[in-house]
Structure 1
């Protein structure tokens, strides 16, 4: 069934790529991704890809520019080596947070990255929990985006008891949190903040007192928003506060904020490798997206409906 498929990986997340291959019963295809002495990226394919269905697994996470350039060069190499189709699997889509022109004289970087990938010759995109749904429309090729509530579906089924409240940490995250609340038939609450000032206090819109709270978001970066939401829910009498965030960006200082917060646990995925030291925290739990991505790749390779996995 997989005789005409090959999976390659850049250097951003080789462990995840190997996990995907393991779920499919394949071996990771051989390629060289290194640097020349002046820092330029060197890419070489070490396998014949003529006529194959090629997949490149590469998150455009830190270092974002390096990983993005690796991805573009891998795609170009595959197209020039006559691969029949090139699909890029981008578990974490870097530059995705700038998806609209929200102020004068700023770029729409999510669109610019889409243009670069399209120009490189990508035939299809597979991603996880894009920051905004409109990013799919930035591409002229099909985009299969795995929604966050499906990424965490198995873990949520395991831990939810039916008495929880799903919380959106801000207005922008309401749609994501609502999907979880509706899927598991749970009430929804929203954290509302009038202004980002030192004296402003987040308000909880909804009832959380005496109930476990699950804060759901697409990523945790600095941790400020997540921890502020947890503190607001805790002060309103929440029984327990956990966080579910798909992408563990976890920039400098984030772990210290999480450790000092009322959060009992933050569940993340391996779309981004945890930075050194971040995996030592007892509050951080990682679940893998490898089996789910493998199922999406299998459907895409067979020409079957990917959306059937999420209905």
Structure 2
């Protein structure tokens, strides 16, 4: 193996433990395009401080401002979202993260933006839809109108929530092609 390709890794420490070069392309542009047109007053929201950098990337691509939810993790499945930094009153919100595992962080963020007066158009976008345990049911009980993830994890039909899936196959094909041709990947990388 000459390269390891990992789309939007949850931790970049991966580079330090691998014996081969690790390429970390981001699915943010793919997801931003799949999101489609958003209203002019839409706000991109990071559900926690760890998602600020990707939220800013979405904000740049969509030409939208960014808000941040501050949270405290109580356990592996339980979080408390405490405050919101940013103006979202009467505005649609796109909550972005690298992955949805139990759904606790996204559920808490959706509650905070709704409590702060967001418009009813709340959409969630994440690269990896793990949906562990009852995550789909949990998100299905929220005011979230749509969840958009990539196919980095196979997605069965989930009638509990409004799920859309977009493919990262073209992104991976581009990365592999560039590696074979020894071309730069800078514009595709997560740190770009």
Shared fold (TM-score, shorter chain, > 0.5) = yes
Query: Residue 243 of structure 1 is aligned with which of 99, 111, 124?
Result: 124
TM-score, with length taken from structure 2: 0.87
Matched, 1:217 2:75: no
SS at match of 1:159: coil
**Cα offset for 1:159?**
2.8
Matched-pair contact (CA < 8 Å) for 1:148–1:176: no
SS at match of 2:13: helix
Structure 2: state its 5+ residue gaps.
Answer: none
Matched, 1:172 2:50: yes
Query: Residue 137 of structure 1 is aligned with which of 3, 13, 16?
Result: 16
Between Structure 1 and Structure 2, the one with more helix by share is 1
Matched, 1:192 2:73: no
**Structure 1 equivalent of residue 61 of structure 2:** 183
Matched-pair contact (CA < 8 Å) for 2:43–2:94: yes
Q: Which has the higher contact order (CA 8 A, sep 6+)?
A: 2
TM-score, with length taken from structure 1: 0.55
Distance 1:284 1:159 in 2: 17
Distance 1:144 1:205 in 2: 33
Matched, 1:258 2:139: yes
**Structure 1 equivalent of residue 109 of structure 2:** 229
The change in CA–CA distance for 1:137 and 1:150 in structure 2 (over 3 A counts) is: farther
Q: Number of matched residues?
A: 187
Greater Rg, structure 1 or structure 2? 1
Matched-pair contact (CA < 8 Å) for 1:202–1:229: no
Structure 1: state its 5+ residue gaps.
Answer: 1-85, 87-122
SS at match of 2:24: strand
Q: Indicate the RMSD between aligned Cα atoms, in angstroms.
A: 2.3
**Cα offset for 1:200?**
5.4
**Cα offset for 1:189?**
0.7
Matched, 1:295 2:174: yes
Matched, 1:127 2:6: yes
**Cα offset for 1:147?**
1.7
Matched-pair contact (CA < 8 Å) for 1:136–1:143: yes
